[in-house]
Amino acid sequence: MAYSNYGTSTYPVLLNDPLPTLDPANPTVAARIENGLAQTITAVKKMLVRDGGKVWIGTAAPSVTDLPNAEEGDGYIQTDGTNALHIYTLTSKANDTWSDEGSLQGPGGNAIHFGTAVTGTGTGISATVAGSKANDMYVNTSAFGIYQATAPNTWNYLGSLQGPAGAAGSAIFFGTAVTGTGTSISAEVAGSKATDTYINYSTWNVYQATAPNVWDYKGNIAGPQGAGSGWDVSTDSASTACSWTLANGAYKYFTNSAITSLTITDGLNNTGDMATVEFTSPSTAATYSAPSGSKHYGDDCSDGAFTPSASTTYKLVFEKWGAGLTCYVKARS
């Protein structure tokens, strides 16, 4: 194969020869041409004017001084410097004239820039974006506007990546304004609209709006009473000198506002048994007799003892713990 080395960075290649093995001692040249050499040779062949001509490859601009064996019609590829990847044809060996046929490397592609520097709508928007050039794109990451450059730092607004706001979703309201069952129930709920939901937190009925302030009953979310006795509530409105024996699960409410005394007896038998008493101490405080061995904690309690104050309603919750009895006292005026 015809292959000669005319220096450390210049190689001739006969047009119909196999491609040369690149000189490992010249990694700069090798790195620039090893991947595209075949395509380059093919392109240069098409522009050569002399059959049997050669393609020369070098790092500097071509010259007959460096290439004494070059003939008119030979080609040259410059691999480094300002004109890297430019192709030349030797048109006059006597005058050392080489014609620049152009570059193998196309122009740089357009870039997409991101930030908040370009704002507004319209055309000819002036905003500095480093490295921008005509036909570059810009995406404003805050307002999501899209722009295209007509020149460095000059932009036209194209539109927005962000669509219009969607319709408000359905809301859930809570309260006691909507009551009853059936359809087309009229009840004012500020801001309500079709498909909204309303939950009455007193009855736990659920409603759905067919229009603002118009509701259809959909059902009830309160489950059935669970297993067990629950609280056994009873009231006593007659007694003033009140007394009661605690019973598990019982709730006693003394409603007479003129109670003078309250006596409680322990009737709870097992750990975890509970009972509740509620009464109002009048303007002259009622007296209180506690179950034997009980300890009281909470409002108006001291050292395990409870002393009612005047004009105060109390709730006493008793709980059995082994042989002992604990009472939690809550007061409200």
DSSP string of 177-191?
Answer: SS-SSSSSEE---TT
Residue type, 196: D
Residue 1 counted as domain residue:
no
* Number of domain units in the chain: 4
The reply to whether 236 and 216 lie within a common domain is no
> Is 67 domain-assigned?
yes
In a domain, 2, yes or no: no
Q: Is residue 5 part of a domain?
A: no
What is the pLDDT at residue 238?
82
Query: Does residue 196 lie in a domain region?
Result: yes
- Is the pLDDT at 170 greater than 70, yes or no? yes
- Domain region containing 145: 112-160
| H or E segment and range at residue 29 | helix 27-33
Residue 230 has pLDDT above 90, yes or no: no
- pLDDT at residue 202 in the model: 80
Least confident of 24-28, 176-180, 228-232, 293-297: 24-28
Q: Same structural domain for residues 18 and 97? A: yes
Residues 93, 129 within the same domain: no
Same domain, 181 and 270: no
Residues 328 and 240 in one domain: yes
Is the pLDDT confidence value at 119 over 50?
yes
Q: Does 210 share its domain with 253?
A: no
- 35 CB contacts (<8 Å, ≥6 apart)? none
Tokens of 6: 């005319």
The verdict on 282 and 243 lying in the same domain is yes
The three-point CA angle 307-233-239 to 5° equals 55
Handedness of CA 175, 179, 181, 184 (dihedral sign): negative
Evaluate whether residue 227 is within a structural domain: no
The full 3-state SS of 31-86, as one line of letters, equals HHHCCCHHHHHHHHHHHCCCCCCEEEEECCCCCCCCCCCCCCCCEEEECCCCCCCE
Q: State residue 41's pLDDT score.
A: 52
Whether residues 290 and 260 fall in one domain: yes
* pLDDT of 35 strictly over 80: no
Question: Per the domain annotation, does 4 fall within a domain?
Answer: no
The reply to whether 204 falls in a domain is: yes
- The confidence score (pLDDT) of residue 313 equals 93
Residue 233: predicted pLDDT: 84
312 and 239 share one domain = yes
If asked whether residues 148 and 185 sit together in one domain, one would say no
Q: Do 189 and 149 share a structural domain? A: no
Residue 2 clears pLDDT 80, i.e. is over it? no
**The pLDDT value given to residue 151:** 96
pLDDT at 48: 46
pLDDT at 8 (0 to 100): 32
- Structure pTM? 0.35
Is residue 140 located within the same domain as residue 58? Answer: no
Write down the pLDDT at residue 10. Answer: 41
Select, from the ranges 45-54, 109-118, 197-206, the one with the highest average predicted confidence (pLDDT): 109-118
The answer, yes or no, to whether residue 108 has pLDDT greater than 90, is: no
Average pLDDT, the chain: 83
